[in-house]
Amino acid sequence: MRGLRTIELPLPRNERAARRPSPARRAVRPTKGLPMREDTGPDTDDPAYERFHFLVNAPALFNAVVTAVELDVFRCLADRGSASFEDLRQFTGLPAHQLRVLLHAVCTTGLLERHGGDYANSRVAGTLLVSDGPDAWRHILTGWKEVYFPAFARTGEALRAGTNTALDAHPGTEPTLYGRLAHDPPLEAVFHRAMSAFTLKSVDALVAHEGFADVRALLDVGGGDGTTSTRLTARYPRLTSTVFDIPSVSKIAEQTTAPDFGERVRVHPGDLFADPFPPGHDAVLFSHVLEIFSGEQITALLAKAHSVLPSGGRVFVYGYNVSEDETRGWYSARLSLYLNVLASGQGMAYPARDYERWMSEAGFTGVRTLTGFPYEHGLTLGTKA
Ligand SMILES: C[S@@+](CC[C@H](N)C(=O)[O-])C[C@H]1O[C@@H](n2cnc3c(N)ncnc32)[C@H](O)[C@@H]1O
């Protein structure tokens, strides 16, 4: 009987069944010669089977959950505690049948619960899907839905071609997504809002690192909308930071984050390959940037950082590290696929040992990596002798 499971089937609608007292449905047990089996192998306890069944339905379920977020279903339920189907129909304005389909889909994920006729948020949904603050998952999910996930349908094509073929969905001729988004300011805003929200999920561990305590002038290369620099300068009152990014993103940084700290967070528009790094900094931070590029480019960028630092200056590389054996890390895996299919056609969530080697090749000493940061992150450090 290993590999066989009891499953519930609705009774056929015939006269006898209709007259039969409860239960209206009954469990059907597999019988010899007529197995009714789910698609499991010899070891039914292997959690990989459950993951498989969730995974193959996940693209549809992901979109159902994002739709529920967009319709503010989770916020409505947080405000009310619970709500009937009719309440939710009035709240969302969805046709009744379509709402039924949506609620069923979201219930299967465990994010909604149904008690009698009423719906309520699960604990996880209450924690993760109600907020709309700067670090809210709703911003991240919207960004993934709008930018990342349409591209993933072209994964096979891009991996075979050895380049980011999905980039052709975005106007422009720039070789990376970051440059192309400048042609679509609303999408660029969605993208950077999502990036900022996800950065906020891991930035506090970086900010807490004691190595920033004696830094006075930081160069935040590829610093995006300034989220990381803003957090760092808030924590270290004597720190100033220069956020170096492409011009369209510098504009976003000026409008959103940087004004909070006036002179202490400055923006410096430029291209990190074509333009020089501005001098006058005693540390350089690459946060979620180097993984976009090849090993050769990363070594060149680290050498460029080395060349503008004074003796004793430091470099910090923060981001996703795939596990050493390159078999684990859902977030790292998704990031690496996104980079290769869409963003740059290269790069990955490199293991820490790769960053350490490139840092040493670029001339830094005392190179080491701190591990165990949230969301599969690591911090690789080096010093200019
Ligand atoms: C993944 S985001 C990281 C943003 C920020 N450091 C953080 O941790 O949230 C990568 C950033 O690198 C910037 N970038 C990519 N290519 C660049 C280039 N050639 N010159 C300057 N900035 C670049 C992008 O515009 C983007 O803001």
Determine which residue's CA is closest to atom 25 belonging to ligand 1.
Answer: 178
Average pLDDT over residues 98-103: 98
Helix (H) or strand (E) holding 220: strand 217-221
pLDDT over threshold 70, residue 114? yes
Instruction: Report residue 108: phi and psi, to 5°.
Output: -65, -25
The pLDDT score that the predictor gives to residue 44 is 73
Question: Checking DSSP bridges between strand 377-383 and strand 26-28, what pairing results, if any?
Answer: unpaired
pLDDT over threshold 60, residue 4? no
Determine which residue's CA is closest to atom 6 belonging to ligand 1.
Answer: 223
The pLDDT score that the predictor gives to residue 258 is 57
The pLDDT score that the predictor gives to residue 2 is 37
Mean pLDDT taken over the chain = 90
**267 and 121: one domain?**
no
Q: Single out the residue in 103, 128, 153 at which a domain terminates.
A: 128
Contact between 349 and 329 under an 8 Å Cβ cutoff? The reply is yes
Q: Model confidence over 34-92: pLDDT tens digits?
A: 444 566 666 778 888 999 999 999 999 999 999 999 999 999 999 999 999 999 999 99
CATH code of residue 77: 1.10.10.10
Q: Model confidence over 131-190: pLDDT tens digits?
A: 999 999 999 999 999 999 999 999 999 999 999 999 999 999 999 999 999 999 999 999
Contact between 317 and 286 under an 8 Å Cβ cutoff? The reply is yes
**268 and 339: one domain?**
yes
Residue 62 to residue 141: CA distance in whole angstroms: 9
CATH code of residue 373: 3.40.50.150
pLDDT over threshold 90, residue 100? yes
Cβ contacts of 186 within 8 Å, gap of 6 or more: none
Q: Residue 212 — very low, low, confident or very high, per pLDDT cuts 50/70/90?
A: very high
The pLDDT score that the predictor gives to residue 306 is 98
**152 and 73: one domain?**
no
Cβ contacts of 322 within 8 Å, gap of 6 or more: 328, 329, 332, 333, 336, 348, 349, 350, 351, 376
Q: In Å, how far are 72, 116, 355, 378 from 322, measured between CA atoms?
A: 34, 44, 12, 9
Average pLDDT over residues 210-226: 97
pLDDT over threshold 70, residue 15? no
**124 and 143: one domain?**
no
The pLDDT score that the predictor gives to residue 263 is 80
Residue 67 to residue 78: CA distance in whole angstroms: 17
**176 and 274: one domain?**
yes
Q: How far is CA 39 from the centre of its chain?
A: 31
**94 and 199: one domain?**
no
Greatest distance between any 2 Cα atoms in the chain: 89
The pLDDT score that the predictor gives to residue 38 is 66
Instruction: Report CA(192)–ligand 1 centroid distance (Å).
Output: 10
Residue 177 to residue 218: CA distance in whole angstroms: 26
Partners of 119 in the β-ladder: 83, 114
Number of domains in the chain: 3
Q: Single out the residue in 100, 128, 156 at which a domain terminates.
A: 128
Contact between 288 and 222 under an 8 Å Cβ cutoff? The reply is yes
Q: Model confidence over 158-175: pLDDT tens digits?
A: 999 999 999 999 999 999
Least trusted range by pLDDT, from 10-24, 98-112, 294-308, 316-330: 10-24
Q: Model confidence over 324-337: pLDDT tens digits?
A: 999 999 999 999 99
**111 and 196: one domain?**
no
Residue 300 to residue 303: CA distance in whole angstroms: 5
Ligand 1: residue of 135, 147, 178 to mutate (most ligand atoms within 8 A of CB) is 178
Instruction: Report CA(271)–ligand 1 centroid distance (Å).
Output: 10
ipTM of the complex: 0.99
Where does ligand 1 bind, in terms of residues with CB under 6 Å?
176, 178, 195, 199, 222-224, 227-228, 245-246, 249, 271-273, 287-289, 292
**200 and 266: one domain?**
yes
The pLDDT score that the predictor gives to residue 43 is 72
**260 and 375: one domain?**
yes
Ligand 1: residue of 231, 246, 250 to mutate (most ligand atoms within 8 A of CB) is 246
Average pLDDT over residues 353-365: 98
**89 and 227: one domain?**
no
Boundaries of domain holding 21? 1-51
pLDDT over threshold 90, residue 273? yes
Contact between 163 and 345 under an 8 Å Cβ cutoff? The reply is yes
Average pLDDT over residues 103-118: 97
**152 and 12: one domain?**
no
The pLDDT score that the predictor gives to residue 9 is 34
Q: Single out the residue in 16, 32, 51 at which a domain terminates.
A: 51
The pLDDT score that the predictor gives to residue 42 is 67
pLDDT above 90 covers a percentage of the chain that reads 84
Amino acid at 247: P
pLDDT over threshold 50, residue 16? no
Which region, left, alpha or beta, applies to residue 123 given φ > 0 means left and ψ of -120 to 50 means alpha? alpha
Q: Where are the alpha helices (DSSP H) in the chain?
A: 15-19, 47-70, 73-80, 85-92, 96-109, 123-128, 137-143, 149-152, 155-161, 177-180, 185-207, 227-235, 247-255, 295-308, 330-338, 352-361
Look up tokens 């590290």; give the residue.
Answer: 321
Ligand 1: residue of 190, 245, 251, 292 to mutate (most ligand atoms within 8 A of CB) is 245
Residue 300 DSSP SS3: helix
Residue 25 DSSP SS3: coil
pLDDT over threshold 70, residue 126? yes
**269 and 378: one domain?**
yes
Average pLDDT over residues 246-259: 86
